[in-house]
Structure 1
């Protein structure tokens, strides 16, 4: 493996760790994230640390000041903004996917559903969350709009963390799996109007459960 690939992987790993801490409120707002300190704590060079900080800055979780990068607060307003973005982007992506997708394109989401079913059955919440995001990613890919896909990739890591929080509150993952199964059936049938209503309910439910989770004591 090349040094460049290892550096990217380390940067992504650190970004994931810091993202989870910021979103969960484990790192107070206004905390100064110092490259040298982070590099020493995690036993890596400054290159991947810098990559991680730039990633989180682009996601809106950090702010840049003259002295470096500082954490921003993350609360209900941020959750609301993220779901507003997701609702608008996903509606367009799915509408395009349904209008453009042929029978072969739905093999991808169908395969992901198999993974989701397995994780729901075993109660693997982390695995289910990853498969959940992959399911939605397939619709962005089928849409054929590269900029929509880039927008989704920009915020998907944050949604991965949010899904972990939401799924931790769900005793049973099967209702979520049933929602996704219905969405795929409607997409295969080309029924955009019904699909849109189901998608709105699905995203609203996810938004509501997350809002309840982050406002709960000890969240």
Structure 2
């Protein structure tokens, strides 16, 4: 199916986002071959944005470029998933500890609003809205940390984390348990108990990693 992209945004980033989603969802399998020409034709762009997209995906270890043969999908292994979630845990634990120094209620309001949106999305069974609110909630932890370099590290891997979250959220038909996890994490962060908040966050991320690992196992058995 031919896909078009919006000219207002970075073409390379949009193309990378689409290919990344296909890889993480399993629509593109390890060993599958792509070419710049076929991608340029599909997205109706020149080869420049395609090369930008492939450079980004190569950095993320999702593809490998073998000139002149083409672009090969690497995909995700259990080890990749472990590395990505351990990286996220390290980043987010630091962000959480720094965020919990903030006492200004106004600065915490966007986090509370994100939890509310998750609870409402869970009631509607709206996975897309839940995904957006979930990402917003975690982004607020980094914003509250007041650590631009830490927030930059989160932003660098955010496209990959987004694709993983898209899979793990859609793994759950009922989103209420995940919404309750975020509600609990918000409450414990506001309580000021750093150890308890760290534990809740660790359990939350471990659960997401387990769901992604189960998804990969199911694909191998299919």
Verify same fold: TM over 0.5: yes
Quote the Cα distance in structure 1 between the aligned partners of 2:88 and 2:144. 17
Q: Do structure 1's residue 205 and structure 2's residue 214 form an aligned pair?
A: no
For residues 31-70 of structure 1, the aligned pairs below 5 Å read: 31-67=32-68, 69-70=71-72
Q: Is the 8 A contact 2:20 2:57 kept in 1?
A: yes
5+ long unaligned stretches in structure 2: 1-5
CA offset digits 1:9-54 (Å, max 9, x no partner): 4323221210012123322324443222211112122232222222
Q: Which moved more, 1:147-156 or 1:209-218?
A: 209-218
Q: How many angstroms does 1:137 deviate by?
A: 0.7
Q: Is the 8 A contact 2:119 2:180 kept in 1?
A: no
Tell me how large the CA RMSD over aligned residues is.
2.1
What is the aligned counterpart of 1:113 among 115, 118, 141? 115
Q: Which moved more, 1:143-152 or 1:83-92?
A: 143-152
Kindly indicate which of the two structures has a greater share of residues assigned to helix. 1
CA offset digits 1:115-134 (Å, max 9, x no partner): 21221111111221221111
Q: Do structure 1's residue 87 and structure 2's residue 89 form an aligned pair?
A: yes
**Partner in structure 1 of residue 30 of structure 2:** 29
**Partner in structure 1 of residue 198 of structure 2:** 196
Tell me the SS of whatever aligns to 2:27: coil
Q: Is the 8 A contact 2:15 2:50 kept in 1?
A: yes
Q: Which moved more, 1:175-184 or 1:96-105?
A: 96-105
**Partner in structure 2 of residue 134 of structure 1:** 136
**Partner in structure 1 of residue 3 of structure 2:** none
**Partner in structure 1 of residue 11 of structure 2:** 10
CA, structure 1 residues 19+185, in 2 after alignment: closer, same or farther (shift >3 Å)? same
Q: Is the 8 A contact 1:166 1:209 kept in 2?
A: yes
CA offset digits 1:61-92 (Å, max 9, x no partner): 12344436432131211111111101111100
**TM-score by structure 1 length?**
0.88
CA, structure 1 residues 32+101, in 2 after alignment: closer, same or farther (shift >3 Å)? farther
What is the aligned counterpart of 1:125 among 127, 133, 139? 127
Tell me the SS of whatever aligns to 1:99: coil
**TM-score by structure 2 length?**
0.87
Q: Do structure 1's residue 104 and structure 2's residue 106 form an aligned pair?
A: yes
Number of aligned residues? 215
Quote the Cα distance in structure 1 between the aligned partners of 2:149 and 2:104. 21
Tell me the SS of whatever aligns to 1:107: helix
Q: Is the 8 A contact 2:118 2:179 kept in 1?
A: yes
**Partner in structure 2 of residue 169 of structure 1:** 171
Quote the Cα distance in structure 2 between the aligned partners of 1:202 and 1:112. 16
